[in-house]
Amino acid sequence: MVKFWKKYICFFLSLLTFITSEAADYYRVTADVLNVRTQPSKKGEVIGCVKRGQVVKSINDDSPEGWIHIDENGVSGYVSASYLKFSHSDKGEQAASSESAFQKLSDKLESFALPDIGERLMTFIIVLLLIIQIVFVKLEIRELTWVAVLLLALVAIAELYYLLMDDVDITWFCERFEVGWFGCVIGFIGFALFLYGQLIATLETLGSINKSSGVYVNWIWGVASWGVGILAAFALSIFDADIEGFGIIFILYQAGFCIYVLIVNIMEKQILKGILYPLFYLLIMIPFSILLAAFLALVIIVAIALLIGGALLGGSSSGRRGGGNVTLDDGTELYETGIDTYRDHNGNYWSRNGDRFTREDN
């Protein structure tokens, strides 16, 4: 679990696309020339070759360890895994450089060994900090805007710490085995309220920054873009579309928004704030967007479960009913005459109690 969330953070820090895209079976060749053989052995006949930087697609089969079965330009054979490096896409050398930067950042995050405070305690700390921040913002003490900024920054730092802890499950309060079904429902509602509260606190704090500095920045264009980006990434992933291209566009948009904040502040001769405010914006939005993505994933899972459950119930019901009529297991057809009352072909009347049908004269 920890690797997933650390890579998810990389997803927002480096390239939006890698962590949400499906793990395609692509490999980049690291040898100058790599032979393709008929058998997974050095004794196999050479039937072709691939060159350095070329990206090949593997065939998912039970290849022996140390060998990978590939299909390249119609040539199907085995190559040594020692000269291949996993690739997140089939874009070749251009993608390799960005992938390398992503991998370095991912490895760096995974090397962190933060003390494990505990999921429940960290959740309590984050919620408590957010409540304090919301209360302070609602007091509207303009002279102490920096306190509201500091409190929200502490919330974001605590969330990042939480996400980087070893073996953490950020949605433990929505796990049936952890809290039971009732606790799962309460945890889901609480998660939604928490995200809503953090969103309001974020907008209120950013608005207080505008008031105290005298520099107007339309922060909603930046804040809303994260939610739109997550929904778009989910949609593109479902339809197996070009999510990498979208990720680059998303990052360029965020960079452009930060430059916009910088320029607006420079025009008002507030260079230091022009540098600090975009950094503050990124600090609070990265962990919030990760939590939002987790919540939306839960919503999708619940929606799918409800749809499947409804389809199963509907299918079960349709097997017994047809236009208000019911066919019993012995083939007797009943025609609905009222609420839970039926009549068969012989004129006999039936009553219904749940799934049980009883003839009135019995």
Most confident segment among 7-11, 36-40, 254-258 = 254-258
The pLDDT mean for the chain works out to 78
Q: How far apart are CA 85 and CA 93, in angstroms?
A: 12
Residue 8, CA atoms < 13 Å, CB-side half-sphere:
20
Task: Provide long-range contacts, Cβ within 8 A and 24+ apart, for 118-124.
Answer: 119/162, 119/168, 119/169, 119/170, 119/172, 120/172, 122/158, 122/161, 122/162, 122/165, 122/168, 123/162, 123/172, 123/173
Which residues neighbour 36 within 8 Å (Cβ) at sequence distance 6 or greater? Answer: 46, 47, 48, 49, 50, 70, 72, 75, 77, 78, 79
pTM score, whole prediction: 0.59
Higher pLDDT residue, 352 or 9?
352
Q: Which of 128-142, 218-232, 308-322 has the weakest average pLDDT?
A: 308-322
Tell me the two tokens of residue 149. Answer: 């900024």
Q: How far apart are CA 9 and CA 161, in angstroms?
A: 11
Q: What is the pLDDT of residues 219-264, one digit of tens each?
A: 999 999 999 999 988 888 777 777 778 888 999 999 999 999 999 9
Contact 130, 155 (CB under 8 A): yes
Residue 157 has pLDDT above 90, yes or no: yes
Question: What distance lies between CA 92 and its chain's CA centroid?
Answer: 26
- Residue corresponding to tokens 């997803």: 11
Residue 142 has pLDDT above 80, yes or no: no
Tell me the two tokens of residue 331. Answer: 């083939």
Q: How confident is the model at residue 114 (pLDDT cuts 50, 70, 90)?
A: low
> Average pLDDT of 120-145?
84
pLDDT given at position 318: 42
350: amino acid identity, one letter:
W
Residue 11 has pLDDT above 60, yes or no: no
